[in-house]
Structure 1
Amino acid sequence: MATEFKNVFFPTDFSKNAQIALPIAAEIAWRTDSKLILFHASQSAMDFAPNFEEAKEEAIKKAEADFESLIDDLKKDERFAGLEIVTILQSGHPTVGLMEKSKKYDSGIIVMGTKGATGDRNVIFGSTASSIINRSSIPVLAIPSSSKFDDFNHITFTTDYHEGDLEAMKQTVTFAKLFDSEIKVMHVAEEESLLSDIKFRGFRELVKEDVDYDKISFVIKYDYDFFPVMADYLIDNPETLLIMVRHKKTFWEKLVERDHSKEMAFYSRVPLLVLMGRSVQL
């Protein structure tokens, strides 16, 4: 991610979740002097209805009106009055269309609203947001409807010291500089040991040597299960932006391990920015 990217891509279904996330997408576009791309894809029973053309025309008119309403509300904020906004409306599967259009429009980040903590994993992992996080080749910022946006003053970057995490840390700093954010780098180790201490200190020194930013602190926590540690942390820090790095996993690892980035996108009540690790090939 860089401050020079041309477009901020925002998919919307015109729901309350999307409405809450839209000002954040606009804020990023405004701070990076980027275009804001609003995208809506419809896939419904109307595609197979006897009066297909009539239903399609009605759906298009409604979506266009919804777009106009979103833009009018957004531009009530004088900062966004001059923001360049492009709307894209198409029929078909939302995930497929979103992936195609975000690449076509040279997007640097996808910002989208999510339901947040619902407690229903079956609903969670079948959602469009989960699919985008799993498939996207560019950063995805998921905004839960219950999150508390504070201009991203506080960022938590999680690391397992994978190949590419240092580069992701640099991307995190690029984002943090937009908001003058404080960054906390967190690692969850299975147990306290000399090896875990060496890794922690080593990564800390690499960051200090290679990253030019003075608002970074480091913390290590110990537990065999990453998720409950992070869940407790987020309860105590509800106004943080959580940043995770998605790495490619083998088929076996996908079966026996949780995919933390997808899980956190829905169980957390804070915004989640998922960066692509070096090992992800899409």
Structure 2
Amino acid sequence: MKILVPTDLSDNAKNAFEFAKAYARQQDASITLLYAYYAVYDFAAQAAEIIQAIESDAKKALKKEIGTGREEGLQIDYKIVQGTVSTAINATVYNGDYDLVIMGTQGASGIKKTLIGSNTATVVKESEVAVIAVPAGSTFESIREITVAIELSNENEVFFKRLIELTETWNLPYQVIHVDTKSDFNKTLSFKGLEAFLNETYPDCEFHFLRIPAKETDKGLDDYLKDVSDCLLVMFSKNKTFFEFLFNRSHSVKMAYHTHVPLLVIK
């Protein structure tokens, strides 16, 4: 497995890097630290000088970052790319066959205030591979449960297979949850069918299933996550539907990406 970890060398990015290193140890994965920059200059004559200075400083900082990890036996390298963060990440993923992006979120008060319009939100939206968004202060070792939020709408076996591939080595229980906003017999059957399928297909994994009654989907999930601070939240991105669900103001979604809970978005 190859993991790409974008960094701006901030404390938040360094925390995401620590998360990635802990994950890589379990998966026997390699890590690439990616530093993207966008040089601003007034005259073309300044370009070479400014770029050289930026890349020289970045190289020193990145070598220092990866040094400890290499001493611990991890396979880590780095790349320095000129361009916007999201563009650099997507291009690097495309050209390097990466399996996962792990990056830090920004701030401490939820997606509407801290991620919409930010680099993290753009990457999560545009990435062709799974992304883990790591909030400030969150650690890999603190996770005790993998919470999988499902819509019970056009569920695809591929997403669950990818979920197991990315998380099975954690040896943690899976809490599969669905927020019921109204009585729906078909979804009741779907939920029971999914329970049977997962238990039969992945007998070595521990699954628990929970349906949460709530007037609004976001409120139900919000209330659940307030009481569970030691989980990894997993959501499936089904083309545009995930982001329509997550970001559409008409749906009043306020909850998502709680910054005290790491979020894995599976593509």
Class of the TM-score when normalised by the shorter of the 2 chains = 0.7 to 0.9
Which of 220, 230, 234 is equivalent to 2:211? 220
The aligned counterpart of 2:66 is: 71
The aligned counterpart of 2:56 is: 61
Q: Which amino acid aligns with 1:41?
A: A
The alignment status of 1:12 with 2:14, answered yes or no, reads no
How does 1:1-282 map onto structure 2 within 5 Å?
5=1, 7-46=2-41, 51-75=46-70, 81-118=72-109, 121=112, 124-150=115-141, 152-249=143-240, 264-265=256-257, 267-276=258-267
Offset at 1:151?
5.5
Number of corresponding residues: 265
* TM-score for the superposition, normalised by structure 2: 0.88
Q: Which amino acid aligns with 1:209?
A: E
Would the alpha carbon gap of residues 252 and 177 (structure 1) be closer, same or farther in structure 2, given more than 3 Å must change? closer
Q: Secondary structure at the match of 2:222?
A: helix
Offset at 1:176?
3.0
Farther-moved stretch of structure 1 (95-104 vs 39-48)? 39-48
Would the alpha carbon gap of residues 252 and 167 (structure 1) be closer, same or farther in structure 2, given more than 3 Å must change? closer
Would the alpha carbon gap of residues 223 and 177 (structure 1) be closer, same or farther in structure 2, given more than 3 Å must change? same
- Deviations along 1:114-165, one digit per CA (max 9) or x if unpaired, are 1253357365211111011111111001101132433643100111123344
Q: Given that residues 110 and 255 in structure 2 are in contact (C-alpha distance below 8 angstroms), is that contact kept between their aligned partners in structure 1? A: no
Q: Which amino acid aligns with 1:170?
A: K
C-alpha distance in 2, partners of 1:224/1:57?
56
- Deviations along 1:95-117, one digit per CA (max 9) or x if unpaired, are 11110111211111001011253
Q: Secondary structure at the match of 1:51?
A: helix
The RMSD of aligned alpha carbons is 2.7
Would the alpha carbon gap of residues 39 and 47 (structure 1) be closer, same or farther in structure 2, given more than 3 Å must change? farther
Q: Give identity over the alignment, percent.
A: 24
Q: Which amino acid aligns with 1:95?
A: S
Structure 2 residue runs without a partner (length 5+)? none
C-alpha distance in 2, partners of 1:47/1:269?
41
Farther-moved stretch of structure 1 (103-112 vs 44-53)? 44-53
Would the alpha carbon gap of residues 196 and 48 (structure 1) be closer, same or farther in structure 2, given more than 3 Å must change? farther
Q: Given that residues 148 and 239 in structure 1 are in contact (C-alpha distance below 8 angstroms), is that contact kept between their aligned partners in structure 2? A: no
- Deviations along 1:1-39, one digit per CA (max 9) or x if unpaired, are xxxx3x111111111111111022122222222221111
Offset at 1:75?
4.5
Farther-moved stretch of structure 1 (48-57 vs 238-247)? 48-57
* TM-score for the superposition, normalised by structure 1: 0.83
Structure 1 residue runs without a partner (length 5+)? 277-282
